[in-house]
Chain A
Amino acid sequence: MSYEMIALLIFASMLVMLLTGQRIFAAIGGVATVFALLLWGDGAEGMPFHASFVLLNWYPLLTLPLFIYMGYMFSESGIADDMYNMFHVWMGPLNGGLAVGTIGLMVAIAAMNGLSVAGMAIGASLALPEMLKRNYNKIMVTGVIQAGSSLGIMVPPSVVLVLYGMIARQNVGRLWMAGVLPGLLLAGLFILYIMIRCKLQPHLGPALPAEERQISWGKKLLLLRAGIIPLVIIFSMTGLFLLGITSLVECSAAGAAATTLAALFKRRLNMKVLENTLRNTLSVSCMFMWVILAALAFSSVFDGLGAVHAIESLFLERWHLSPWGIIAMMQVSYLLMGMFLDDTAMLIIVAPLYVPLVISLGFDAIWYGVLYTITCQIAYMTPPFGYNLFLMKAMAPPEVTLGDIYRSITPFVLVMIVGLVIVMLFPQIALWLPNLYFGK
């Protein structure tokens, strides 16, 4: 059998195992082990464990549990409640204003968190019921929360960009800086969409009734205090890192500690909250780590087959694609694979195959990381395999059905594809800020 056929067979067996609904890490790791033994015999026995040492040496991965901890601690701390009030009062009088405010809240949360889980939890428990109470259309509302929380992996800090940085061997500081403007661009596009849609169809997002708007300017200004704690957290984490005072992993520890202090300050911290936070952190961190462990084993089997060259010759020699054709092809393949494969596993399996090709074609690896992250955001939201979909289903009140959730994402996914194309056409949106800050 040719190597290409074997590679295809491995991939196909993995997809079948994934379809059975077995835990992703078990499906990927099991298939990798079976094929390693078949291909290389006894010598491959240590291969699965060897992956754990590769993972151990991925120092930046320490940010993962710490950011997850921070996200859970943040949603328990009640800081988001104050911020929501602020946006509620300031944006409420507009048509669709609460939805616009929610996007604002999500950007702020994204700036304090490296994943989309925290935004999702806060959006579903805080913003969603408030908006439903004020007769916002439930499909609109669910879409807003899903799209908004997906910004968590784009706006720095971002765990996805840390992972990408390790695999592509790029500077994480640059990658984070590169995520700032595209993240804001996406948020801007979401807001634009909400405002236009609610202008045309005011019943989707009615403005706050007059009696709720009677708030004095003094009170309104006082509400802005809600922004202070988040700014302190952002500074102690991302700020100190970008100033070069703390290292990457230290900044995640600083963020986690600052959030814990904030929860203490808001008198929300007790043993029960702490234990819940730690348990959820362990559960989610283990989920990610075991998937990464299995995907590393899988990727070393793939690597042993020379898959990098196979892909290169497929794209260049057989299909005669232009460089841009290849980039487009890669994004499409991510979106297709994202339907079946967990995004973390996808990054670890596919990025080592694609990134060298991207660089050899003369594209910027930092820019490509941003493209990858936008694709990831879309993949998070699209069925059948989307983290956000399932989180939403678990967290939303019962009147929001799975059908509503599926329908809600369509316009936002289209908006995100527009954003993806804009960043593809104008790489400077991603590259201007890191080049300005770090020099070329």
Chain B
Amino acid sequence: MPKVIKAFVRYIDAANKAVGKFAMYLVFAMMGILLFESLSRTIFDRPHIWVVEMAQFFMAAYYLLGGGYSMILDGHVRMDLLYGRWGRRRQALSDVITGFLLIFYMFFLFTGGISASKYALKYGQVNYTPWGPPLSPIKIVMTIGIFLMLLQAIATFFKDLATARGKDLDQDKEETVS
């Protein structure tokens, strides 16, 4: 593998790990908002109109920003009727071939995200709710998450290609989910 690709894979892995480690703490943000609201409403009789949407935004940010890291952790379920019986190299070969579909999907998610964000910025789009927050910030965050996922899909493609050719680009495997 050329040096550029190795560096690319290394940087993308590092970037997604960093973003993912941040994103995983967003669970506490969701938990905190919801607990705050239930206490505020039941004890102090003060409901807030922004709670529902805020929690939704955190959820969207959570799984989209965490997407790349979840790829590194190999957390995505596969149907392994055949796949599970293959050796590591054959699995990688299959992933190289079908990986195009993943990259294709991510690419259109990304272009969709870009145009939705542009639209939201241009027309100052707000959510159609009593609180009515502007939608561009969350759309941009979502698009960034998808972009990171696209980059991770490409990096994973190179890793699989290396494995299929009998080499190893995956420097740190110790951190997979048990």
Contacts and interface: CB of A to CB of B under 8 A. Distances in A.
Contact of B109 (A52, A246, A284): A52
Nearest to A19: B82
Interface in B93-145: 94-95, 97-99, 101-102, 104-105, 108-109, 111-113, 115-116, 138, 142
25 contacts: A19-B79, A20-B82, A21-B91, A22-B99, A23-B78, A25-B76, A30-B101, A31-B101, A45-B108, A46-B112, A46-B116, A59-B56, A62-B59, A65-B59, A66-B31, A245-B42, A246-B38, A249-B34, A250-B38, A253-B35, A257-B31, A278-B27, A280-B178, A283-B75, A286-B66
Contacts of A286: 63, 66-67, 69-70, 75-76
Nearest to B99: A22
Sorting the interface of chain B by its residue count into under 10, 10 to 19, 20 to 34 or 35 or more gives 35 or more
Nearest to B52: A59
Interface string B51-91: 01001110110111011011001011111111110100001
Given A26-B98, A27-B98, A20 B83 contact: yes
Interface stretch (B5-13, B18-26, B166-174): B18-26
Nearest to B116: A49
A26 B63 CA distance: 15
B111 A45 contact: yes
Given A52-B64, A56-B57, A390 B112 contact: no
A162 interface: no
Interface of A: 17-27, 29-34, 37, 45-50, 52-53, 55-57, 59, 61-62, 65-66, 69, 245-247, 249-250, 252-254, 256-257, 278-287, 289-291, 294, 340-342, 384-385, 387, 390, 394
B162 interface: no
Contacts of A22: 78, 94-95, 98-99, 101-102
The SS class assigned to the A binding surface is helix
Contact of A33 (B78, B80, B86, B104): B104
Contacts of B76: 23-26, 286-287, 290
Interface in B27-52: 27, 30-31, 34-35, 37-38, 42, 52
Given A17-B101, A20-B94, A49 B34 contact: no
B177 interface: yes
Given A49-B113, A66-B31, A23 B102 contact: yes
The 4 residue pairs across chains A and B that have the minimum distance between CB atoms: A21-B83, A49-B112, A283-B75, A30-B101
Given A48-B109, A253-B38, A62 B101 contact: no
A263 B102 CA distance: 39
B75 A287 contact: yes
Contacts of B60: 52, 55-56
Interface of B: 20, 23-25, 27, 30-31, 34-35, 37-38, 42, 52, 55-57, 59-60, 62-64, 66-67, 69-70, 73, 75-84, 86, 91, 94-95, 97-99, 101-102, 104-105, 108-109, 111-113, 115-116, 138, 142, 146, 153, 177-178
Nearest to A28: B105
A283 B31 CA distance: 18
Given A17-B98, A62-B30, A65-B59, A291 B52 contact: no
Contacts of B27: 65-66, 69, 256, 278, 281-282
Contacts of A26: 76, 98, 101-102, 105, 153
A250 B52 CA distance: 10
A385 B84 CA distance: 11
A180 B104 CA distance: 44
B70 A287 contact: yes
B101 to A, nearest CB: 3
